[in-house]
Homo-oligomer: A and B are copies of this chain.
Amino acid sequence: MTKISDSTVKRLSMYYRSLLEFEKRGYKIISSKDLAKTEELTPAQVRKDLSFFGNFGTRGLGYPVEELKERIAKILGLTRSWNVALVGVGNVGSALVSYKEFQKQGFNMKLLFDNDQRKINKSHKGIPVHDVTFLSKKLKENKIEMVILAVPAHAAQKVADLVVASGVKSILNFAPVQIKVPKDVVVRSVNMAMELEYLSFCQVNKGFLQSS
């Protein structure tokens, strides 16, 4: 297997969702054209992405839906479940706790952390909220594998350092700041304002964006 890019991983996630949909509608076999149409990509792009799985599908016949779905699930790590914790039960954190897609894909929100005494030692939507002071201890005890940071910008690096020190290798960061981690830790940052900036860029520079 060759190395695959960030955007290929994103497309695999998209294919996976389309395949679930095709399966629900009773499809057994689909073509790269079917998948391309759903995702608004070219069939060539789809075939290239799926070639990552080696020689797969039958030329002229297409891909078996169930098998392809399962192969993608496996490579995305969706055939198992993951222990997830979230730090910062504010507006964004609270919305993430209610986000049903997480559970559906096997991301189990096990623990919440906050520094607000009014929230600590209570349950938030059925999940216990712990004092962030005990972050390292609790992450280790509960074998947490991924941490979602929904803390203010000024606190993000400090909390990330604690998370890394606890041995967690995956961080999803919602704080509007870049955080630094060692090479063996992966950080994925979501910045809603940057998403809007992409849209304002497109409005200001009509025609300057490469179609991908």
Contacts and interface: CB of A to CB of B under 8 A. Distances in A.
A176 B9 contact: no
A138 to B, nearest CB: 20
A56 B171 CA distance: 36
Given A3-B209, A209-B9, A77 B203 contact: yes
Total copies of the chain: 2
A134 interface: no
Nearest to A193: B101
A165 interface: no
22 contacts: A1-B208, A3-B209, A4-B208, A6-B209, A7-B7, A10-B194, A16-B197, A17-B176, A17-B178, A18-B178, A91-B94, A91-B95, A92-B95, A95-B95, A105-B193, A171-B199, A186-B199, A186-B202, A188-B195, A188-B198, A188-B199, A190-B195
